[in-house]
Amino acid sequence: MGRSAKGVRGMKLAKGDEVVSGEVAEEKTSILTVAENGFGKRTKIEDYRLQSRGGKGILSIKLTQKGGKVVGMLLVRDEDEVVMITSAGILIRTTAENISTHGRNTQGVKLMDMTGDDKIVSIAKVVEKD
């Protein structure tokens, strides 16, 4: 495409929707989805179908008022360590295998207890330096 081209549509978003994360799929991995009120789950990558350009996306977690909005998604293996950080600065570090595996259309399990107005604001994989 030329410099002035606008490109092609990757995904159709409904009003109010936004993309929170993107990953390149790999075999023998899971997608970790975490919501702001402390709920989350792992879902096997095989549970997601391929989607072509301009699709509407694929449901990854059942959103409820109890769970809140999705904070992020990560591609993880059992041995990966994950850290979750709240708006109050509380940090929890755990291995991915400690997080339950569920289907796509479920709310997940409580990963972290939230107090007051505290919410999970970020998740990340821990990278060990040699």
Domain assignment present for 63: yes
Q: Residue 81's domain spans which residues?
A: 30-126
pLDDT score for 31: 95
Domain assignment present for 56: yes
Domain assignment present for 12: no
Domain assignment present for 42: yes
Half-sphere exposure of 118 (CA within 13 A, CB side): 13
Q: Which of the 8 DSSP states describes residue 50?
A: P
pLDDT tens by residue, 70-127: 999 999 999 999 999 999 999 999 999 999 999 888 888 999 998 889 999 999 999 8
Handedness of CA 23, 39, 120, 125 (dihedral sign): negative
Strands 39-44 and 120-126, sheet pairing: unpaired
Domain count, the chain: 1
Q: Say if residue 41's pLDDT is above 90.
A: yes
Q: Using DSSP, state whether 46 is helix, strand or coil.
A: helix
pLDDT score for 19: 84
**Span 9-20, average pLDDT:** 86
Residue 33 and residue 70 in contact, taking contact as beta carbons nearer than 8 Å: yes
pLDDT winner (highest mean) among 2-11, 12-21, 113-122: 113-122
